[in-house]
Amino acid sequence: MDVVLQAAITGIVQGLTEFIPVSSSAHLELLPWILGWDESELVGSLAFDVFLHLGTLVALLVYFGKDWLHYIAAGWDSLRERRIGADPDRRLAWLLLAATIPAAVIGFALEDVIATTFHGDDDAARLAIAGFLVAGAIGLWLADRLGRRTREMDQLNAPTALTIGFSQALALLPGISRSGATITTGLALGLTREAAARFSFLLATPITLGAALHKVPALLGASSSHMVFLGIVVSGIVGLLAIKVLLAYVRTRDYRPFVYYRWAFAAMLVIVYLVRSARVG
């Protein structure tokens, strides 16, 4: 398959899976293996995956740009006046900051260990991803089914926000999903389906920006700049559409389709593994 087409397909997959709770890392890591793509210098590499996240970061900034301007201004005002008061924007600005810290610290500390253990071009890593997909699906199903779903974002408090923030660190495990972990935790703590998704997306912005600032400077020398640009543009456009569609969907519907998809994807991974193992044997 043409490498440019591979770049476009990978951008579409990143844009779709970054925000819906099905694990973008699992899809990006396994896509070349599932489709049998030949090894490429860029597509399927860590460098290209990081660049694709820039596209979805742009999607977040476009969709939530006005919200972030309000929160940043509100946070600055609270610093200047040394008070939060009853302003919900001020409170949410500080809750977003507080919730970002746990995942950032844990991610920095454990990133290399997780990468060595679970991110690899071998069957053990792929089967582990299948297991994480199933585990995340069960958690999402239970939280969506049993959660009270009575709290909106303006009812968030520090313990709830911090707990959701800690759950972001689970996204280090490929197959768990950052959005899946944060939405699941939000639902379990009583947020409505839309509030859980919206807070998850807002929380994705600083953590994605931080990861980009941390990794992209070391990757700027990557070759095939036209494919990098294509991947960023495609993932950004598709990611923006995914945000809009998911937020509209969960206003009136539950998360069961994503639970079923995760189970089906995990089953497919196991089947592909068994078929290819039988051929080798």
**Amino acid occupying residue 254:** D
The residue range of the domain holding 55 is: 3-280
Which tens digit of pLDDT belongs to each residue from 53-63?
A: 889 999 999 99
Contact 177, 16 (CB under 8 A): no
pLDDT score, position 220: 59
Q: What's the CA gap between 240 and 29, in Å, rounded? A: 22
Q: What's the CA gap between 28 and 48, in Å, rounded? A: 10
Tokens standing for residue 127: 């089967």
pLDDT score, position 40: 67
Q: Which of 182, 44, 28, 25 is nearest to 102 (CA)?
A: 182
Tokens standing for residue 244: 């809009």
Question: pTM for the whole thing?
Answer: 0.92
Classify burial at 80, counting beta carbons within 10 Å of its beta carbon; exposed 0-12, middle 13-18, buried 19 or more: exposed
Q: What's the CA gap between 44 and 29, in Å, rounded? A: 7
How many domains does the structure of the chain reveal? 1
Question: What region does 37 belong to: left with phi over 0, alpha with psi -120 to 50, or beta?
Answer: beta
Residue-wise DSSP of 15-84: HHHTTTTT-HHHHHHHHHHHHTPPP-SSTTSHHHHHHHHHHHHHHHHHHHHHHHHHHHHHHHHHHHHT--
Grouped pLDDT means (10 residues each) for the chain, 281 residues: 84 94 92 81 69 92 95 95 90 95 84 69 88 97 97 94 94 91 98 97 91 65 70 95 97 97 97 88 61
